[in-house]
Chains A and B, each alone.
Chain A
Amino acid sequence: MITREEIIKQTNEALKKEFEFTDEQLISTAQLRDDLGLDSLDAVDMVVVLEQKFGVTLRQGYDLRTIVTLNDLYDFIEKLARTHQ
């Protein structure tokens, strides 16, 4: 089963590539919208790249309002990955 550390690593890699973030920006408490500047269009593209990365479907049941920080995002993916085991 994929570990949380691996989820964080792969998520951050995808976000860095898609949105040109630096490692320094990707602290777990960073807020996607207010700290990282991701808007609703970015959120859609983030789902696309993370779905590719993890081979899961995020867009159903996905609600940006419930995912405020990077930690929330890691939690969401981890929960989904476990469901798909």
Chain B
Amino acid sequence: MDDSNTVVITGMGAVSPYGAGVAALWEGLSSRKNCIHTVKELEDLPMVNTKVAATVPETDYSFIPRKHRRSMSRMGLYAYCAAQEALRHAGYETAPEKLGFFMGSTLNSISVWMELAGYSQGAHLELIKTSDFLQIMNHSPLAAVCQALKINGPAMGGSEACATGLMNIGLGYMAIRQGLVEQAICGGTEEYHPMFSACFDIMQATSKNSNDNPAAACRPFDASRTGLVVSEGCGLVFMETKKSAQQRGVPILAEVLGFYANTDTDNMAYPSAETLRKCMAGALEAAHIKAEEVNLLNAHATGTVAGDIAETQAAHAVFGPSLKINSLKGHLGHTMGASGCLESIACVNMLTAQQILPTNNLTQVDERCAPLHYQTQVSNTPLNIIMKNSFAIGGNNCSLLFRRPQ
């Protein structure tokens, strides 16, 4: 088989509520370490029902030169750390020539925007600094990391809310397959602000029954779930052609087999199982594989009532009842634009470890969710192919397939 344009992953970088690094992410997920906590700002807002979130531990970022740091809000700082880790993991100390960079976020820094809004409301626009603007452009994290790490290939970012991270892996995959670039860093980044929780709360999509027990707040597929827990972080993967990786002699972590994306035009916020089914089926077709070859579906499953039902019904229609399925949002919360990539990194690690991580806080499957093999315990099992789903408010769906290196 001609695999000259096969796309592989050779590096990964993560910043998550478990801290900086892929190792911290994997250790936290594997040990089911709790990272969800009460947020004081939410406690002070009586109209907001959810009081919990997951945030990246406080970190001193002064090791990043000020000249570059001035253009980075928190999500930019996360992206810098993740990109550097992904580069090093792929065997580079500095970015190779023409490296592509595909990354986005749901929103830009709400904190910095709030500061600017304060200047505007107080009629003190003269207080705006250039660094404020450099931090709140839609592509600020992308641009700032390119400047800092001298990434000089095409840099562009899809921004599709909760699907951003996986969409950008797909974008990078297509760019490599089409020959636009030979190597690219891809993923998503996001920083938490209580406004996120408040907005999802208004849409009745947040977890609200476990405020006194944050560790149990996010419960994908569980009968008692009430919604998602907002989180933050950055996930990035280093992708390249298999040929490039082989020429460089670096270990291949996983192959990207196929990608598909579609849009649900029925409703901005309520997913249609049929559109999700088409998305997953489209990914299988793009990868030229059969449903039965997929060993695990790492679901988007944020723990919302409607979303989990629609996704499992769609998965059942595509794969049948024997499908193994898990979600990592019970551990991590919903890292928004970073989720598709942080969870993809976990998928790659699951392939490497030949181990399926369970869904945290899943004690009783909602009977409205389709009958599937819900993973509730760590399972050591042969794993060859994992499908990863990410779906966004707005109806933007994508599915991507990872395979263990052949």
Contacts and interface: CB of A to CB of B under 8 A. Distances in A.
Interface string B94-129: 000000000000000000000000000000001111
Nearest to B67: A37
B65 to A, nearest CB: 10
Interface string A23-53: 0000000000000010101101100110110
Interface in B120-144: 126-131, 134
B131 A41 contact: yes
A20 interface: yes
A51 B66 contact: no
Contacts of B130: 41, 44-45
Interface residues of B, number: 11
Given A41-B131, A41-B134, A48 B67 contact: no
A48 B128 contact: yes
A19 interface: yes
Nearest to B131: A45
A39 B147 CA distance: 15
Secondary structure of the B contact surface, majority rule:
helix
In which size bucket is the chain A interface?
10 to 19
B66 A45 contact: no
The A interface is mostly helix, strand or loop, or mixed, namely helix
A45 B129 contact: yes
Given A19-B66, A20-B66, A48 B134 contact: no
Contacts of A52: 127
Contacts of A51: 126
A48 B126 contact: yes
A81 B128 CA distance: 22
A27 B82 CA distance: 37
Nearest to A57: B126
B239 to A, nearest CB: 32
B277 to A, nearest CB: 50
Given A44-B130, A48-B128, 15 more contacts: A19-B66, A20-B62, A20-B66, A37-B67, A39-B67, A41-B70, A41-B130, A41-B131, A44-B129, A45-B70, A45-B130, A45-B131, A48-B127, A49-B129, A51-B126
24 contacts: A19-B66, A20-B62, A20-B66, A37-B67, A39-B67, A41-B70, A41-B130, A41-B131, A41-B134, A42-B70, A44-B129, A44-B130, A45-B70, A45-B129, A45-B130, A45-B131, A48-B126, A48-B127, A48-B128, A48-B129, A49-B129, A51-B126, A52-B127, A59-B126
Interface of A: 19-20, 37, 39, 41-42, 44-45, 48-49, 51-52, 59
Interface of B: 62, 66-67, 70, 126-131, 134
Top 5 closest pairs, chain A to chain B, by CB: A45-B129, A41-B130, A44-B130, A48-B129, A20-B66
